[in-house]
């Protein structure tokens, strides 16, 4: 691989690292929990992107597998976070309330 290609890939990784810093700022200053959860997912995805860019620049294809694993873990974590925010618990409800019937029957 030419030196120009490696330099461009490292520059792209550096740009993504700057964006990660801005996203971390949003994560800690976010007004709601949803903003913080979204920015945490964005940070994890961008870290996987940096890992993949560095893998290509270094010529190490096994690091790309690590990047894919990070993305899959991020997806699973985001699903768990959304489930927790909707139900405020990871456990299913023990019983469901019956809807009230009209007419007293």
What is the token pair recorded at 78? Answer: 């985001």
CB 9 within 8 A of CB 51: no
Tokens 């993949």, residue?
A: 52
Q: Per residue of the chain (105 residues), what is the pLDDT tens digit?
A: 678 877 887 888 788 888 888 888 888 887 887 788 888 888 888 888 888 888 888 888 888 898 999 999 998 988 888 777 777 666 666 666 666 677 655
Which tens digit of pLDDT belongs to each residue from 71-96? 999 989 888 887 777 776 666 666 66
Domain ranges of the chain: 3-87
Q: What is the pTM of this model?
A: 0.65
Dist. CA 43–CA 55, nearest whole Å: 18
């Amino acid at each position: 691989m030419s030196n120009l290609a490696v330099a461009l890939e490292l520059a792209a990784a550096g740009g993504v690292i700057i964006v990660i810093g801005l996203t971390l700022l949003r994560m800690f200053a976010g007004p709601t929990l949803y903003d913080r959860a979204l920015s945490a997912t964005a940070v994890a995805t961008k870290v996987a992107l940096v890992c993949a860019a560095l893998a290509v620049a270094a010529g190490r294809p096994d690091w790309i597998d690590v990047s894919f694993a990070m993305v899959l873990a991020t997806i699973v974590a985001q699903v768990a976070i959304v489930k927790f925010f909707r139900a405020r618990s990871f456990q299913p409800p023990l019983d469901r309330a019956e809807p009230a019937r009209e007419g007293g029957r």
